[in-house]
Amino acid sequence: MSERPSMIEYYSSAEIEAMRPAGRFVAGVLAELARTAEVGMNLLELDDLAARRIKEAGAVSCYVDYHPSFGGSPFGKVLCTSVNDAVLHGLPFDYKIKDGDLVSFDFAAEVDGWVADSALSVVVGDASEHDLHLIDTTTRALEAGIAAATVGNKLGDIGHAIATVARGDGLKVNTQFGGHGVGRTMHGDPHVPNDGRPGRGMKLKPGLVIAIEPWFLQTTDEIVYDPDGWTLRSADGSRGAHMEHTVAITEDGPIILTARD
């Protein structure tokens, strides 16, 4: 998900430290979801699991009441589950996971007033080489984007690093949805597109906290909405993968606040 409010915020070292519990919580829930998802499990069960973890932690869902301009209605769930040709904003519904399904989880929560946002893709059951390669490419693109998130670089360097990995594997890049600022709210400025020109755009400064989130489709860069007003699918039915971390830019290099063990 991404929406663009109008102000870029920078955070102190102490504030970035205060964000760590939110990052650890989001990372832990995603890791549990990836371990738990199995053939025959319903997407609604996984959403219920994430909701229980939020309640147990005294956290706050960033999704339940979320209704940006691109959403058809308030989201109403705590987790995005996008399956196969769905790649973003998947609204959980009564669907049992099948063998070989490619499932993307996107999860954001607030802990003690701070937000973290992260996503990952997994194949449940027997995985095809095509799906594993797509996930690997998306993972390497995320790593490249994070490596470019250093003080003195430009915003375009992050997008260029992501797109270079994608195009190197023959994938097209959609820039309609991408990363975004994170902090006290889930979606803030700047928008962090998954493509860019090196050395161009906003200069990266210490204290900027952003979600970097490459997502790719196997054979297209065009997306269409489901009737639910949320779920975004490939226009040609090809599968998609989505990876995301919340990253703080510091003088000592990028800190991945949602790093998973």
- Residues annotated within the binding site are 89, 106, 117, 180, 187, 213, 244
Q: 233: which strand partners?
A: 86, 224
**Secondary structure of 95-110 as H, E, C letters:** CECCCCCEEEEEEEEE
- Give CA 183 to chain center in angstroms: 15
What the block records as the tokens of 137 is 């490419």
Q: Which of 154, 149, 119 shows the shortest CA–CA distance to 260?
A: 119
How far is 200 from 197, CA to CA, in rounded Å? 6
Binding-site residues for a divalent metal cation sit at: 106, 117, 180, 213, 244
158 within 8 A of 178, measured Cβ to Cβ: no
Cβ-Cβ contacts under 8 Å for 216 (sequence gap 6 or more): 87, 134, 137, 138, 141, 166, 171, 172, 173, 240, 241
Binding-site residues for substrate sit at: 89, 187
Q: What angle do CA 6, 12, 16 make, to 5 degrees?
A: 90
